[in-house]
Amino acid sequence: MEYEVRLADGRDRTALDRFYTREGMDFRELSRYKLSAGATKETMYIIAVTQEAVIAALKLDIAEDPGFGNIGYIQHFEIEDELEETDLGARMISKTIEIAEKKKLRALDAVVNDKRQKLIEMYVGSQFQELHREVRLRREFRKRLF
């Protein structure tokens, strides 16, 4: 299968929405969610596309850590199920690293659910190191109307 791994642009918004919906996620909610502790300076999506359909995507937020410099935060990395055993994931990570180097980031952090062992292994294979494991808890008091 031929596909292209690239930075998403505004024309990819609908395709990203469809992709994340197939993966059981809400693209609009993912776009609003900020992981980094500092102010996010830039948000982008790296995608793999074939015949105008997104087959893999990840979100990259760039934020400044006051004591360290600019850091990229990778999250919401999803690949179509039938393509998980291919080199697509490695190509997505490679593209992300390329973008990080061009933007002169000091580091890339990836947030991965500990149940996604294959994804963790893929990151480790790309020279990421596990810093720690954490549990994220939330108590909601009222639902958002919009």
Domains in the chain (CATH in brackets) are 4-125 (3.40.630.30)
In the block, tokens 């776009």 appear at 31
pTM of the prediction?
0.85
Look at residue 38 and tell me whether its pLDDT is greater than 70. no
User: Residue 55, Cα to own-chain centre: how many angstroms?
Assistant: 13
Phi, psi (deg, nearest 5) at residue 134:
-145, 160
The reported pLDDT for the residue numbered 145 is 64
The reported pLDDT for the residue numbered 65 is 84
The reported pLDDT for the residue numbered 124 is 92
In the block, tokens 């105008």 appear at 52
The reported pLDDT for the residue numbered 143 is 72
Nearest to 58 by CA among 4, 110, 1, 107: 110
User: Residue 10, Cα to own-chain centre: how many angstroms?
Assistant: 17
Look at residue 142 and tell me whether its pLDDT is greater than 80. no
Look at residue 5 and tell me whether its pLDDT is greater than 90. yes
